[in-house]
A and B are shown apart, each in its own frame.
Chain A
Amino acid sequence: MIHRRRMLPLPGKVLVNVGDAVRSDQAVARAELPGKVFPVNLANQLSVAPGEIKDYLVKKEGDVVEKDEILAENKPLIKWFKTEIRSPVAGTIESVSSVTGQVLLREPPRVLQLLAYVDGTIIETIPQQGVVVETTCSLVQGIFGIGGETSGDIVMAVKTPDEPLTPGHLNTAMKDKVVVGGSFLSADAMKQAKTVGVAGLVVGGIHDEDLRALLGYDLGVAITGTEQVGFTLILTEGFGTIPMAAKTFKLLSTYVGRKASISGATQIRAGVIRPEIIIPQGAAGIGMNVQSQRDGIRVGDPVRIIRDPLFGCIGEVSALPSELTKIPTESEVRVLEVMFPDGRRVVIPRTNIEVIEGA
């Protein structure tokens, strides 16, 4: 069971009531974004003092104007010397300043609709601000993503988690779908995904160079979610070629054909936000798997190493020495011992692993 708080960026109107069932693409609240403002300096254009412009105005504060409608004009003795100042936009006259000689024109407001994002039930409404949607679902958290919220049916494009996603895997039947790949997404596959029109891509890893080419700039700080590259991209593991965790791959495989709501929004500083894949269970949901609260790391826990030189390797905690240990950099840190499936054991700083949740 998860809750998603849906909030308008400025006060508006909530369109649903507590208890209403909503679909992901349904508007739950609406607000009017004030229109853009265009200043026009009448004093300069009419060559008069700012304090005098009121005498030349044809329209007054609060009036509605059409594009190219006359805002102000002078009244010369000879008609040829007449100057007319026309409105550059359609909107209303917000203010007239006798200090600067400026008229501020505001375009009509733009309606902003806030969607439910996930299929679920409204459990709370916050007057003028938004709602809380509740849904019973399977949730997969990625590590990094780009692009905003979208939804689509889940399609598995590869057979195994270590198979890279190539352009050949992507076809027109995947339009508007959430496509799951394996270990790696190449630049060519990204191009093909855009051509096909997939809603989202979920893969193990990509190269930073390909991300830079996709965005058109080098991403400096991991605050994402507003990019518009044609699809939402979610990495489950990181940068490089890294097989998707078997558990994640298996879980997504279970839900082929089911609708998923996804978001690439990532924020790694204070108040961490990670990208997510939400698969609502609906009325016909399969048995809920409630996760128990973890209390620290234990011997036997499955872990993934998240720093080179063994980045991406998966093993099991085989020892948890409590004393500080000197690592090759000469730093003295707390470490743990990881055993790989082949029986090999390595010592890793505790901060360089993450526990594979729910395994």
Chain B
Amino acid sequence: MMVTGVVQSMTGESAQRAALGAGAIVIDVLAANDGRLPHEKIERIRSMRPDMILMSGGTDGGAVTHVVEMAEYIAAAEPRPRFGVTYKLPLIYAGNKEAQPQVKKILEDKSALVVTENIRPVLERENLAPARNKIHDLFLEHVMQQAPGYKKLIDMTGAPIMPTPAAVGLIMEAIAKRDHLNLIGVDIGGATTDVFSVFDGVFNRTVSANLGMSYSVSNVLAEAGLASIMRWVPFTIDEQTLRNRIKNKMIRPTTIPQTLDELQIEQAIAREALRLALIHHKSLATGLKGVQQERTISDVFEQRTSGKSLIDMLKLDLIVGSGGILSHAPRRIQSMLMMVDAYEPTGCTRLSVDSIFMMPHLGVLSTINEKAATDVFVRDCMIYLGTCVAPIGQGQDGEVCADYEIAWPDGKTTKEQLRFSELRLYPLDSGKQATITVRPAKQVNMGAGVGVGVTREVHGGVVGLLLDGRGRPLKLPAEQTGRVAALAKWFKAVDLYPVQSAEC
């Protein structure tokens, strides 16, 4: 989809969130202030050939001219759908209601125009649901009609057909609602990486269209850079060989790593793809920008801008991973550490993986019976890996990071010190809980403030309880020998890979 707004960071972003939430890939955001000249915008619309356009802009009763101007550009571009020569491009108008008559006049003959409620009726409020529903309807009515076999599929199904990411979003929302959780879900595929989040009941989804493990693997290298990928690999390899290997994976996407070093490289790429996709998600899952804020005297030293990211890692309860590289990793600890390294959870965070890729189906089921869908998801689909306990702060290797005491379900206790640059893994079975009390060192924070101790109930899983003393933000030694030694130490501490790399 292509979306338009008047101000890029306000209605432009709202339109983008509406489209992404509906399961779309947004190929461009056009706005009156996006810095492009009018003829460049028209050329862009012509050359991108979206399947659908969402127009927004202006609060109700606000700017009309810019919205009409954008409608004129779209009309001039005469956008044509990619598929089906005979049908008109679906276009949703969800902007200033005062501009509806003019927009209709300009675009009614040139597109399959649908008018719906403004996605930003006032600056302080977003109203994304009506636009999302229209996107969904038009996707099924127009775009999917072009897909071979779609009509047969309609006859076969009893429930509404949904785009996969929209269905995954539904099950994520249902789980978050059921257990009152803040969660991040990720689905890393061959071509794209979808990130879902629910924080304080607000759902967001982003899709990083060119971050993936096969078709788009080369793009991960281009975006992250070779050094970022290689920092996770405990050996050296020359750049040319690695580049060729990654390109060969791109052109033959169904191949799998056969040797341990290939697996390690692939999991290193996954860490970077996951990390970049979350950065992208954080930049869009924000509060509304351009909103007037009330400040009190206590805020005088804190210059907060509006549009702060909603993703607060300290409030995060659960990470759900999905996609081949996470769900099918030979050892579950590999999935856990990939997500921990990429997301750097802080405080106590539970991690899980979707074992059987049933999330989309359960998303559809949740529209019919939410309880049944969430029950199946939790019992049969999700595999809990365990909990990661990670204090915030940095220190010299070997310095004390925190004292901790764990009361195990069998009544035993463990009292130890977690040092910087240390990873510790304790077994704690699925369904079991332990109580951990962490007393962080002076400069270290566990979420309650620097040096303030916390006590938490932590859940077990197939991996267990991971204590991460590597510091936050996570920094790897810059120097090669030190980095390789650190990785080797961490991998050994959690038994990440088999010891012997057998020859093939």
Q: Does B425 contact A (CB under 8 A)?
A: no
Q: Is the CB of A104 within 8 A of B221?
A: no
Q: Is the CB of A143 within 8 A of B72?
A: no
Q: Is the CB of B258 within 8 A of A209?
A: no
| Distance (whole angstroms) from the CB of B273 to the closest CB of chain A | 12
A331's contact among B69, B76, B80, B256, by CB below 8 Å, is which? B256
Q: How far is the CA of A190 from the CA of B75 in the complex (A)?
A: 44
| Distance (whole angstroms) from the CB of A4 to the closest CB of chain B | 19
A209's contact among B222, B243, B259, by CB below 8 Å, is which? B243
| Distance (whole angstroms) from the CB of B149 to the closest CB of chain A | 14
Q: How far is the CA of A222 from the CA of B246 in the complex (A)?
A: 12
Chain A positions 319-358 with a Cβ under 8 Å from a chain B Cβ: 327-331, 333, 346-349, 351-352, 354
Q: Does A94 contact B (CB under 8 A)?
A: yes
Q: Is the CB of B258 within 8 A of A348?
A: yes
| Distance (whole angstroms) from the CB of B234 to the closest CB of chain A | 15
CB-CB nearest in chain B for A222: B250
Q: How far is the CA of A266 from the CA of B215 in the complex (A)?
A: 12
Q: Does B177 contact A (CB under 8 A)?
A: no
Q: Is the CB of B215 within 8 A of A329?
A: no
Q: How far is the CA of A11 from the CA of B258 in the complex (A)?
A: 49
Q: Is the CB of B252 within 8 A of A308?
A: no
Cβ contacts under 8 Å, A268 to chain B? 215, 250-251, 253
Q: Does B254 contact A (CB under 8 A)?
A: yes
Q: Is the CB of A220 within 8 A of B80?
A: no
Cβ contacts under 8 Å, B502 to chain A? 328
| Distance (whole angstroms) from the CB of B399 to the closest CB of chain A | 35
Cβ contacts under 8 Å, B218 to chain A? 218-222
Chain B positions 250-273 with a Cβ under 8 Å from a chain A Cβ: 250-260, 262-263
A306's contact among B222, B240, B248, B260, by CB below 8 Å, is which? B248
Q: Is the CB of A207 within 8 A of B244?
A: yes
Q: Is the CB of B72 within 8 A of A39?
A: yes
Against A, the Cβ 8 Å flags (1 = close, 0 = not) of B134-178 are: 000000000000000000000000000000000000000000000
Q: Does B39 contact A (CB under 8 A)?
A: yes
Q: Does B315 contact A (CB under 8 A)?
A: no
Q: Is the CB of A329 within 8 A of B330?
A: yes
Q: Does B245 contact A (CB under 8 A)?
A: yes
Q: Is the CB of B72 within 8 A of A207?
A: no
Q: Does B233 contact A (CB under 8 A)?
A: no
| Distance (whole angstroms) from the CB of A273 to the closest CB of chain B | 12
Q: How far is the CA of A314 from the CA of B243 in the complex (A)?
A: 23
Q: How far is the CA of A50 from the CA of B218 in the complex (A)?
A: 50
Against B, the Cβ 8 Å flags (1 = close, 0 = not) of A90-113 are: 000011010110101010000000
| Distance (whole angstroms) from the CB of A296 to the closest CB of chain B | 16
Q: Does A239 contact B (CB under 8 A)?
A: yes
Q: Does B289 contact A (CB under 8 A)?
A: no
Interface-facing stretch out of A30-38, A72-80, A192-200, A245-253: A30-38
Cβ contacts under 8 Å, B69 to chain A? 100, 102
Q: Does B331 contact A (CB under 8 A)?
A: yes
Interface residues of B, count at CB 8 A: 56
Q: Does A164 contact B (CB under 8 A)?
A: no
Q: Does A21 contact B (CB under 8 A)?
A: no
A104-B254 in contact given A240-B248, A329-B259, A330-B330 (Cβ < 8 Å): no
Q: Does B191 contact A (CB under 8 A)?
A: yes
Q: Is the CB of B244 within 8 A of A239?
A: yes
B252's contact among A37, A97, A269, A306, by CB below 8 Å, is which? A306
Q: How far is the CA of A304 from the CA of B24 in the complex (A)?
A: 38
Q: How far is the CA of A262 from the CA of B216 in the complex (A)?
A: 26
Q: Does B478 contact A (CB under 8 A)?
A: no
Q: How far is the CA of A307 from the CA of B266 in the complex (A)?
A: 13
Cβ contacts under 8 Å, A34 to chain B? 78
Q: Is the CB of B247 within 8 A of A208?
A: yes
Q: Does A117 contact B (CB under 8 A)?
A: no
Q: Is the CB of B255 within 8 A of A352?
A: yes
| Distance (whole angstroms) from the CB of B326 to the closest CB of chain A | 14
Cβ contacts under 8 Å, B239 to chain A? 209
Against A, the Cβ 8 Å flags (1 = close, 0 = not) of B394-412 are: 0000000000000000000
Q: Is the CB of B245 within 8 A of A97?
A: no
CB-CB nearest in chain B for A219: B218
Q: Is the CB of A94 within 8 A of B258?
A: no
Q: Does B366 contact A (CB under 8 A)?
A: no
A329's contact among B77, B216, B258, by CB below 8 Å, is which? B258
| Distance (whole angstroms) from the CB of A352 to the closest CB of chain B | 5
Q: Does B430 contact A (CB under 8 A)?
A: no
Q: Is the CB of A220 within 8 A of B216?
A: yes
Q: Is the CB of A37 within 8 A of B42?
A: yes
A333's contact among B246, B256, B260, B501, by CB below 8 Å, is which? B256
Cβ contacts under 8 Å, A328 to chain B? 258-260, 498, 501-504
Q: Does B65 contact A (CB under 8 A)?
A: yes
Cβ contacts under 8 Å, B78 to chain A? 34
Q: Is the CB of B262 within 8 A of A308?
A: yes
B256's contact among A129, A218, A307, by CB below 8 Å, is which? A307
Q: Does A168 contact B (CB under 8 A)?
A: no
Q: How far is the CA of A94 from the CA of B110 in the complex (A)?
A: 14
Q: Is the CB of B85 within 8 A of A351?
A: no
A39-B38 in contact given A239-B247, A329-B257, A352-B258 (Cβ < 8 Å): yes
Q: Is the CB of A220 within 8 A of B39?
A: no
A209-B215 in contact given A10-B80, A329-B330 (Cβ < 8 Å): no
Q: Is the CB of A38 within 8 A of B39?
A: yes
Q: How far is the CA of A107 from the CA of B158 in the complex (A)?
A: 51
Q: Is the CB of B39 within 8 A of A349?
A: no
Q: Does B434 contact A (CB under 8 A)?
A: no
Known: A307-B249, A327-B504. 5 other contacts (CB 8 A): A95-B75, A208-B243, A219-B222, A309-B258, A329-B260
Which 8 residue pairs are nearest across A and B when measured between Cβ atoms? Answer: A220-B219, A330-B330, A208-B243, A218-B222, A239-B244, A307-B255, A39-B38, A239-B247
Chain B contact residues, CB within 8 Å of chain A: 38-39, 42-43, 64-65, 68-69, 72-73, 75-78, 80, 85, 102, 191, 210, 215-216, 218-219, 221-223, 239-240, 243-260, 262-263, 328, 330-331, 498, 501-504
Can you identify 10 A-B contacts, CB atoms within 8 angstroms?
A99-B64, A219-B222, A220-B219, A221-B250, A222-B218, A240-B244, A307-B249, A328-B503, A330-B498, A349-B255
Chain A contact residues, CB within 8 Å of chain B: 10-11, 34, 36-39, 50, 94-95, 97, 99-100, 102, 104, 106, 129, 143-144, 207-209, 211, 218-222, 238-240, 266, 268-269, 306-311, 327-331, 333, 346-349, 351-352, 354
